[in-house]
Chain A
Amino acid sequence: KQEVTQIPAALSVPEGENLVLNCSFTDSAIYNLQWFRQDPGKGLTSLLLIQSSQREQTSGRLNASLDKSSGRSTLYIAASQPGDSATYLCAVPGAGSYQLTFGKGTKLSVIP
Protein backbone atom coordinates (compact mmCIF):
# COMPACT_ATOMS: atom_id res chain seq x y z
CA LYS A 1 0.00 0.00 0.00
CA GLN A 2 1.35 3.39 -1.01
CA GLU A 3 2.30 5.72 1.82
CA VAL A 4 3.18 9.37 1.35
CA THR A 5 5.14 11.32 3.94
CA GLN A 6 5.78 15.04 4.02
CA ILE A 7 8.46 16.74 6.03
CA PRO A 8 8.36 19.11 7.80
CA ALA A 9 4.78 19.16 9.07
CA ALA A 10 5.02 22.91 9.57
CA LEU A 11 7.46 25.58 8.50
CA SER A 12 7.71 29.27 9.31
CA VAL A 13 10.03 31.52 7.33
CA PRO A 14 10.56 35.26 6.91
CA GLU A 15 9.39 36.85 3.70
CA GLY A 16 11.88 36.63 0.86
CA GLU A 17 13.49 33.36 1.86
CA ASN A 18 13.80 30.41 -0.48
CA LEU A 19 12.49 27.15 0.93
CA VAL A 20 12.14 23.47 0.17
CA LEU A 21 9.29 21.14 1.04
CA ASN A 22 9.87 17.40 0.98
CA CYS A 23 7.67 14.50 -0.03
CA SER A 24 8.53 10.80 0.01
CA PHE A 25 6.54 7.81 -1.17
CA THR A 26 7.03 4.11 -0.55
CA ASP A 27 6.03 2.61 -3.89
CA SER A 28 8.13 4.03 -6.71
CA ALA A 29 5.87 2.56 -9.42
CA ILE A 30 4.08 5.84 -10.00
CA TYR A 31 3.33 7.53 -13.30
CA ASN A 32 3.13 11.05 -11.93
CA LEU A 33 3.26 13.12 -8.77
CA GLN A 34 1.27 16.22 -8.04
CA TRP A 35 1.72 19.14 -5.67
CA PHE A 36 -1.32 21.01 -4.38
CA ARG A 37 -1.95 24.05 -2.29
CA GLN A 38 -4.79 24.17 0.24
CA ASP A 39 -5.87 27.35 2.00
CA PRO A 40 -7.69 27.00 5.35
CA GLY A 41 -11.19 25.63 4.90
CA LYS A 42 -10.81 25.53 1.14
CA GLY A 43 -10.38 22.95 -1.58
CA LEU A 44 -7.22 22.11 -3.47
CA THR A 45 -5.39 24.12 -6.07
CA SER A 46 -3.11 22.13 -8.34
CA LEU A 47 0.36 23.67 -8.51
CA LEU A 48 2.50 21.27 -10.48
CA LEU A 49 2.15 17.81 -11.97
CA ILE A 50 5.32 15.90 -12.82
CA GLN A 51 5.15 12.90 -15.10
CA SER A 52 7.32 9.91 -14.17
CA SER A 53 9.49 10.55 -17.22
CA GLN A 54 10.29 14.07 -16.04
CA ARG A 55 12.76 15.13 -13.39
CA GLU A 56 11.34 18.56 -12.72
CA GLN A 57 8.62 21.05 -13.51
CA THR A 58 8.61 24.79 -13.07
CA SER A 59 5.82 27.32 -12.72
CA GLY A 60 6.80 30.85 -11.80
CA ARG A 61 8.55 30.81 -8.44
CA LEU A 62 7.79 27.13 -7.94
CA ASN A 63 9.99 24.24 -8.97
CA ALA A 64 9.18 20.63 -8.28
CA SER A 65 11.59 17.77 -8.71
CA LEU A 66 10.99 14.05 -8.84
CA ASP A 67 13.38 11.19 -8.15
CA LYS A 68 11.33 8.07 -8.69
CA SER A 69 14.05 5.60 -7.84
CA SER A 70 14.54 7.07 -4.38
CA GLY A 71 10.84 7.78 -3.86
CA ARG A 72 11.28 11.49 -3.31
CA SER A 73 10.01 14.80 -4.55
CA THR A 74 10.78 18.34 -3.49
CA LEU A 75 8.90 21.58 -3.97
CA TYR A 76 11.15 24.61 -4.09
CA ILE A 77 9.60 28.04 -3.51
CA ALA A 78 11.77 31.01 -4.39
CA ALA A 79 11.51 34.43 -2.78
CA SER A 80 8.62 33.46 -0.53
CA GLN A 81 5.74 35.90 0.01
CA PRO A 82 3.08 36.11 2.73
CA GLY A 83 0.54 35.05 0.12
CA ASP A 84 2.34 31.72 -0.13
CA SER A 85 1.13 30.84 3.37
CA ALA A 86 -0.96 27.69 3.03
CA THR A 87 -0.75 23.94 3.42
CA TYR A 88 1.09 22.17 0.61
CA LEU A 89 0.13 18.61 -0.21
CA CYS A 90 1.78 16.10 -2.45
CA ALA A 91 -0.10 13.18 -3.94
CA VAL A 92 0.59 10.15 -6.11
CA PRO A 93 -1.83 7.91 -8.01
CA GLY A 94 -2.18 4.24 -7.23
CA ALA A 95 -0.83 1.55 -9.53
CA GLY A 96 -3.07 1.29 -12.56
CA SER A 97 -5.58 3.79 -11.22
CA TYR A 98 -6.24 7.49 -10.91
CA GLN A 99 -6.95 7.34 -7.19
CA LEU A 100 -4.65 9.66 -5.32
CA THR A 101 -2.83 8.99 -2.05
CA PHE A 102 -2.04 12.22 -0.22
CA GLY A 103 0.57 13.17 2.32
CA LYS A 104 -0.50 15.02 5.44
CA GLY A 105 0.91 18.23 4.10
CA THR A 106 3.34 20.92 5.17
CA LYS A 107 1.79 24.02 6.70
CA LEU A 108 3.81 27.00 5.54
CA SER A 109 3.73 30.39 7.20
CA VAL A 110 5.60 33.25 5.56
CA ILE A 111 6.12 36.08 8.01
CA PRO A 112 6.07 39.63 6.59
Chain B
Amino acid sequence: GAVVSQHPSRVICKSGTSVKIECRSLDFQATTMFWYRQFPKQSLMLMATSNEGSKATYEQGVEKDKFLINHASLTLSTLTVTSAHPEDSSFYICSALGREQFFGPGTRLTVL
Protein backbone atom coordinates (compact mmCIF):
# COMPACT_ATOMS: atom_id res chain seq x y z
CA GLY B 1 0.00 0.00 0.00
CA ALA B 2 0.91 3.65 -0.22
CA VAL B 3 3.19 5.20 2.38
CA VAL B 4 2.25 8.13 4.58
CA SER B 5 4.72 9.52 7.08
CA GLN B 6 4.26 11.77 10.10
CA HIS B 7 6.80 13.86 11.91
CA PRO B 8 7.50 13.96 14.75
CA SER B 9 6.39 10.60 16.08
CA ARG B 10 6.44 11.89 19.62
CA VAL B 11 6.56 15.37 21.13
CA ILE B 12 6.48 16.69 24.66
CA CYS B 13 5.94 20.40 25.17
CA LYS B 14 5.11 22.91 27.85
CA SER B 15 1.65 24.35 28.21
CA GLY B 16 1.17 27.44 26.07
CA THR B 17 3.59 26.50 23.32
CA SER B 18 2.68 25.64 19.73
CA VAL B 19 3.45 22.34 18.08
CA LYS B 20 3.54 21.55 14.37
CA ILE B 21 2.92 18.05 13.04
CA GLU B 22 3.71 17.16 9.44
CA CYS B 23 1.94 14.58 7.32
CA ARG B 24 3.50 13.52 4.03
CA SER B 25 2.32 11.18 1.31
CA LEU B 26 5.55 9.69 0.03
CA ASP B 27 4.57 7.93 -3.16
CA PHE B 28 1.42 9.60 -4.43
CA GLN B 29 -0.16 13.02 -4.64
CA ALA B 30 -3.02 13.62 -2.27
CA THR B 31 -5.46 16.42 -2.91
CA THR B 32 -7.22 15.52 0.30
CA MET B 33 -5.79 14.60 3.68
CA PHE B 34 -7.57 14.02 6.95
CA TRP B 35 -6.56 14.68 10.55
CA TYR B 36 -7.84 12.46 13.35
CA ARG B 37 -7.39 12.52 17.10
CA GLN B 38 -7.47 9.50 19.36
CA PHE B 39 -7.75 9.70 23.13
CA PRO B 40 -6.78 6.69 25.29
CA LYS B 41 -9.11 3.74 24.83
CA GLN B 42 -11.22 5.75 22.40
CA SER B 43 -11.62 5.50 18.69
CA LEU B 44 -10.31 7.87 16.08
CA MET B 45 -12.33 11.05 15.75
CA LEU B 46 -12.11 13.10 12.61
CA MET B 47 -10.93 16.63 13.34
CA ALA B 48 -10.72 18.16 9.89
CA THR B 49 -10.45 17.57 6.18
CA SER B 50 -7.47 19.22 4.54
CA ASN B 51 -7.74 20.14 0.86
CA GLU B 52 -4.71 21.26 -1.14
CA GLY B 53 -4.88 24.93 -2.01
CA SER B 54 -8.01 25.70 -0.01
CA LYS B 55 -9.15 26.11 3.56
CA ALA B 56 -9.61 23.07 5.72
CA THR B 57 -13.05 21.90 6.75
CA TYR B 58 -13.37 21.37 10.48
CA GLU B 59 -15.69 19.02 12.29
CA GLN B 60 -18.16 20.36 14.80
CA GLY B 61 -16.50 21.18 18.10
CA VAL B 62 -12.99 21.50 16.67
CA GLU B 63 -11.59 25.03 16.99
CA LYS B 64 -10.10 26.13 13.71
CA ASP B 65 -8.06 28.88 15.36
CA LYS B 66 -6.51 26.40 17.74
CA PHE B 67 -5.79 23.63 15.25
CA LEU B 68 -4.30 25.33 12.21
CA ILE B 69 -4.12 23.22 9.08
CA ASN B 70 -2.07 24.05 6.02
CA HIS B 71 -2.08 21.90 2.88
CA ALA B 72 0.30 23.82 0.67
CA SER B 73 1.34 20.99 -1.61
CA LEU B 74 -0.05 17.71 -2.89
CA THR B 75 2.26 15.73 -0.62
CA LEU B 76 2.28 17.73 2.61
CA SER B 77 -0.29 18.80 5.17
CA THR B 78 0.60 20.30 8.53
CA LEU B 79 -1.38 20.56 11.74
CA THR B 80 -0.30 23.19 14.24
CA VAL B 81 -1.68 22.96 17.75
CA THR B 82 -1.49 26.54 19.00
CA SER B 83 -1.13 27.41 22.67
CA ALA B 84 -1.30 23.75 23.61
CA HIS B 85 -2.78 22.73 26.94
CA PRO B 86 -2.72 19.40 28.80
CA GLU B 87 -6.19 18.52 27.49
CA ASP B 88 -4.73 18.60 23.97
CA SER B 89 -2.51 15.65 24.86
CA SER B 90 -3.55 12.92 22.47
CA PHE B 91 -2.52 10.72 19.57
CA TYR B 92 -2.87 12.58 16.28
CA ILE B 93 -3.12 10.54 13.07
CA CYS B 94 -3.30 11.80 9.52
CA SER B 95 -4.41 10.02 6.39
CA ALA B 96 -4.00 10.76 2.72
CA LEU B 97 -6.69 9.97 0.21
CA GLY B 98 -5.65 7.94 -2.79
CA ARG B 99 -7.76 5.05 -4.04
CA GLU B 100 -8.50 4.63 -0.35
CA GLN B 101 -7.32 6.37 2.81
CA PHE B 102 -3.75 5.58 3.77
CA PHE B 103 -2.84 6.34 7.37
CA GLY B 104 0.30 7.73 8.89
CA PRO B 105 1.94 6.18 11.95
CA GLY B 106 0.63 8.86 14.31
CA THR B 107 2.13 11.51 16.57
CA ARG B 108 1.93 11.25 20.34
CA LEU B 109 1.56 14.74 21.82
CA THR B 110 2.06 15.25 25.54
CA VAL B 111 1.51 18.73 26.94
CA LEU B 112 2.92 19.28 30.42
Residue numbers of A with Cβ under 8 A of B are 4, 34, 36, 41-46, 49, 89, 91, 98-105
Contacts and interface: CB of A to CB of B under 8 A. Distances in A.
B106 A102 contact: no
Interface of B: 1, 6, 32, 34, 41-46, 49, 91, 93, 95, 97, 100-106, 108
Given A41-B108, A99-B49, A46 B44 contact: no
A67 to B, nearest CB: 21
24 contacts: A4-B43, A41-B108, A42-B105, A42-B106, A43-B103, A43-B104, A43-B105, A43-B106, A45-B103, A46-B100, A46-B102, A46-B103, A89-B43, A89-B44, A91-B44, A98-B97, A98-B101, A99-B46, A99-B49, A100-B101, A103-B43, A104-B42, A104-B43, A105-B43
Contacts of A98: 32, 34, 97, 101
Contacts of B105: 42-43
A44 B46 contact: no
Contacts of A101: 46
A46 B97 CA distance: 13
B97 to A, nearest CB: 6
B9 to A, nearest CB: 9
B106 A34 contact: no
B79 to A, nearest CB: 15
A102 B32 contact: no
